[in-house]
Structure 1
Amino acid sequence: MAFDLTLRQLRYFAAAAQTGNFSMAAANEHVSQSAITNAVLALESGLGTRLFERLPQGVALTPEGQDFYNHARRVLDAARDAVHKPPFRSHDMRGTVRIAASYTVLGYFLPELLARFRATYPFIEFDLRDMERVDIERAVHDGDVDIGVVLLSNIEKLSRFGSQVLIRSRRQLWVAPSHPLALVDAPSLKDIAAHPYILITVDEGEQSTLRYWKKKGIAPNIAFRTSSMEALRGLVAHGFGVTVLSDMVFRPWSLEGNRIEARPVLDAVPQMDAGMIWQKGAQLNSPATALQQFLIHACGT
């Protein structure tokens, strides 16, 4: 049965999904918490399904909520692009942008944004390179690449570059629904350390993970290391272990279709920042400037 759906409802729902907290979503949207709550309740009533699990510390998307969030984000992105009118925009602009990206952002963040950019600038070509973060830094510094898209939180001396955060993604516990930790609303790192841990190694995942564990004075019980995100999902979904990873790469199912759930971590775990770097002080050409400004606009930063 059809029901009236507004962009405001989708925006409030997306804000709640991104923050995992109605009051924080309300603060970000500059509205009352009841406005967020009412929007979510109206969507759940109209769709006939629960979009969020209510937890003591906030909310978490249900599998149906995650699916709806993916659709809602595309609608909001399309609406934002439709009204995007930068002063330099020219639909017939031509040229090439040299972009380098690391594994995580290339696989889970950048392709959809590049597709949206191409819809606005159909004659701009991409020279897209898959590179390690250290190699991207070198290529940007030497002028071999116009824009690097990387995990900014892994760069030690970010001040060497011009930079812009595009997304801040919280890290949460990934767990199978049947796992004992799935019954805990917000497990601590100490709780997590009592169970086998699946550690992702790609994109400096091992170093960044162990960094915040070490700061807490606890070590995860590492059962398996892998560079494959799909292998990690499968192992977690089948209950062989748990992991803590960012929402940017979260999917509520494994390749085989088994469910994975996310839980907030009680301890302060650093978020993952992804964004752009470019040569400091350099004048980007028009296509590169168009992409730079588009990404800033598209990500709402």
Structure 2
Amino acid sequence: MDLQQMRYVVAVAETRNFTRAAERCFVVQSSLSHRIAGLERELGVKLFARSSRRVELTPAGAAFVAGARECLAAADRAAADAADATGVVRGRLAVGVIVTTAAVDVPELLQRYRARHPDVRVALRSGRSDELAAAVRGGDLDIAFLGVPESAPPLGVEAVALDHDEHVLVVAAGHRLAGAPRVTLREIAEETFVDFVSGTPARAQSDQAFAAAGLVRDVAYEAGVVELITRLIARGLGIALLPSAFIRPRAAEDPGLALVPVVDGPRRTEYLVWNRFNPSPATRAMLGVLGVLGAGAPSTAS
């Protein structure tokens, strides 16, 4: 058994297709299939159930893949640590980001990072703050940029607050409140709302604000992306509360939207988080690019 065989098995498990797995591993399919078949003979078990149309992990295969991922991660970390000892940063950096991040220009950050550390392979993944924080705690992500209510900082990770922001009311340009100097939650509670999906941290920020004010609102439209939310608003189908720093540049370019300050609206904090346990050289290098002192820097979350 060798690491290459493990990589082949993991690739097939993730793609559920021998042809796509071979393409990912930059090898011909016959060679990949031959190496996996040899590994199955060595182990005395079948790792995959195959048919002409489907490839599925067997129970033995699922158990093997879990261990193989750990071995491959350890091997990659060993190679990265060896390179780091010579002053060269290598390996992989997995970055998570929420779609409404505004405290950091993530594409510009990744460009600077690549210029300094071209031997690091960066993987980027977007998602919900709670999912990304869990992925950092579990080791699936190295760092993540989150946005959460001020009352709910991320737990179980090293965290640095990047920015504090308040939500603004977003309405269609022809809405009765467009141009108002400011509003309160009570003044807008009877409106129809567009918001993120219920149960997400992005939605919780507004839900908590209305609950704290003793108000109930009608969320008629739920969406997972801001672009759909703003399109629904521009059509006059509802209003929304969105982070100020994120939405202001976009509203400035969209004549169909108007922003109104909210006196008692939600507030959120954007965080940079990373795993507190032995950050990789690639992670430490990113913390350096961001100006964070390093893995030993004081944490704002526990």
2:141 partner letter: V
Say whether the 8 Å CA contact 1:166–1:295 is kept in structure 2.
Answer: no
Q: State the match for 1:241 in structure 2.
A: 238
Q: State the match for 1:260 in structure 2.
A: 257
Say whether the 8 Å CA contact 2:179–2:258 is kept in structure 1.
Answer: no
2:241 partner letter: V
In structure 2, relative to structure 1, the CA distance for the partners of 1:142 and 1:243 (3 Å cut) is: closer
Residue 126 of structure 1, CA deviation: 0.5
In structure 2, relative to structure 1, the CA distance for the partners of 1:222 and 1:133 (3 Å cut) is: closer
SS in 2 for 1:158: coil
CA distance in 2, matches of 1:217, 1:181: 22
Q: State the match for 1:175 in structure 2.
A: 171
Could you report, residue by residue, the CA deviation over 1:149-204 in whole angstroms, capped at 9, with x for unpaired residues? 22243895634221112232321111222211113200111111232222222853
Q: State the match for 2:162 in structure 1.
A: 166
133-142 vs 152-161, which moves further: 152-161
SS in 1 for 2:287: helix
Give 5+ residue unaligned stretches, structure 2. 1-83, 293-302
How does the TM-score come out when normalised to structure 1? 0.58
In structure 2, relative to structure 1, the CA distance for the partners of 1:234 and 1:253 (3 Å cut) is: farther
Residue 265 of structure 1, CA deviation: 0.5
Q: State the match for 1:274 in structure 2.
A: 270
In structure 2, relative to structure 1, the CA distance for the partners of 1:160 and 1:198 (3 Å cut) is: same
CA distance in 2, matches of 1:127, 1:219: 41
In structure 2, relative to structure 1, the CA distance for the partners of 1:216 and 1:276 (3 Å cut) is: same
Could you report, residue by residue, the CA deviation over 1:87-115 in whole angstroms, capped at 9, with x for unpaired residues? x9x99643321223344449x95333222
Say whether the 8 Å CA contact 2:172–2:234 is kept in structure 1.
Answer: yes
Q: State the match for 2:110 in structure 1.
A: 114
Structure with bigger gyration radius: 2
- The answer to whether 1:188 aligns with 2:187 is no
147-156 vs 284-293, which moves further: 147-156
Aligned residues: 204
- The answer to whether 1:214 aligns with 2:207 is no
1:220 partner letter: R
In structure 2, relative to structure 1, the CA distance for the partners of 1:119 and 1:131 (3 Å cut) is: same
Say whether the 8 Å CA contact 1:146–1:278 is kept in structure 2.
Answer: yes
Could you report, residue by residue, the CA deviation over 1:38-95 in whole angstroms, capped at 9, with x for unpaired residues? xxxxxxxxxxxxxxxxxxxxxxxxxxxxxxxxxxxxxxxxxxxxxxxxxx9x996433
Say whether the 8 Å CA contact 2:205–2:267 is kept in structure 1.
Answer: no
In structure 2, relative to structure 1, the CA distance for the partners of 1:168 and 1:154 (3 Å cut) is: closer
Residue 116 of structure 1, CA deviation: 3.1
CA distance in 2, matches of 1:220, 1:163: 33
Residue 139 of structure 1, CA deviation: 3.0
CA distance in 2, matches of 1:155, 1:185: 27
SS in 2 for 1:293: helix
Please give the root-mean-square deviation of Cα atoms over the aligned residues, in Å: 3.1
In structure 2, relative to structure 1, the CA distance for the partners of 1:247 and 1:156 (3 Å cut) is: closer
Q: State the match for 1:232 in structure 2.
A: 229
Could you report, residue by residue, the CA deviation over 1:9-56 in whole angstroms, capped at 9, with x for unpaired residues? xxxxxxxxxxxxxxxxxxxxxxxxxxxxxxxxxxxxxxxxxxxxxxxx
SS in 1 for 2:201: helix
